Structure 1
Amino acid sequence: MSTTKTDPWGRGRPDVGTKVEVRLTDEQLGTVDHVVRRRGRGQRDRAAVLRELIERGLDCPAPDRGHGLNTEHLGAGILTQTLDADGMCGIDVYGDGTNLWVVDHEDGDVLAHTTRPRYAALVQAFALLDFDYSPEYGSLVAAGRAILDGVASQAQALQDANRDLLPPREPSAARR
């Protein structure tokens, strides 16, 4: 049920759509309230923030977390792969021309989904550094350090490789 402004002075709630009631955990509600406070008074209310977050979530196709990244469904290709000597452990970065996914190679868990190459490079680096729990993964940790040392160049490499996944643009018709 939507509400509309009924008096001539425009008071009342704006007509934004059907009312939907949702139960949130205290943690989720706290996060939403944090976003509202961060944006400042009068900027957004809870409902507006929730609508925006839902819209953003629907605009970005999310991989199926429990079963790894469904690259075929998303039209994603591998951009870079950093693996240990056995090829069993490491971090993969996939892209579809716009989105980037940083994925744990072994179990397929999606560690990050973003459109920002620099963020993907940083997550990739920190995920590789997380392999420091075992000496056998020294090459992965070294790769993570190397990415951190040259994060701008890694971000540029991811951006270029991701751009290559986009279909070529057709030349536009000449204007008269």
Structure 2
Amino acid sequence: MTNPLLNSPLRFVAACRLPTQWGEFTMHGFEDTRSGQEHVALTMGNIDDGAPVLGRVHSECLTGDALFSRRCDCGPQLEAAMKAVQAAGRGVIVYLRQEGRGIGLINKIRAYQLQDQGLDTVEANVALGLPVDARDFVLAKHILDYLHIHALRLMTNNPQKVDTLNAVGIQVVERVPLHVGQNQDNARYLQTKVAKMGHFVN
């Protein structure tokens, strides 16, 4: 059988059982041979039968996913996605190590400092001479190819994810809204995503 990653910058490393409070997943590990950066995918149930799979492409957010920051909605979105996969009994979560929309953790802290002074998320990145969004969602296509997933019911509010995956051959047959985690500390952050980055509001 042809290796789905043959012409990909990613290589599959290993897979293991991952029991969580939202059920038991299989965690698949991948390494980017160009940078050494590591990514994972969590899967549950039969995902390679050709039918569209409920899934999320989630970018790493240490502050939101692990430190419970209220400055964003990332942690609640990840939890909601894992719960949704559990409820469906079948699904995938691609977890890309692209902290701070790809600018890295330390630059994210620098951007947060500027936001504390009144800039929004876009303005802060621009003030630092950084991209507004440096993430590479094509990496998700390589991981999904390896998992033999070619059609998704994608949990996202981000049109860029939908457009990118469709453009590279992963058919997004349905966009599943994921509006969770809103609070007074991230109200401006969420407003900026809608006003300046075109995120869906429903």
TM range (shorter): under 0.3
- TM-score (normalised: structure 2): 0.25
Higher helix share: 1
**Greater C-alpha Rg:** 1
Give the number of the structure with larger relative contact order, counting CA–CA contacts within 8 Å between residues 6 or more apart: 2
- TM-score (normalised: structure 1): 0.27
Higher strand share: 2
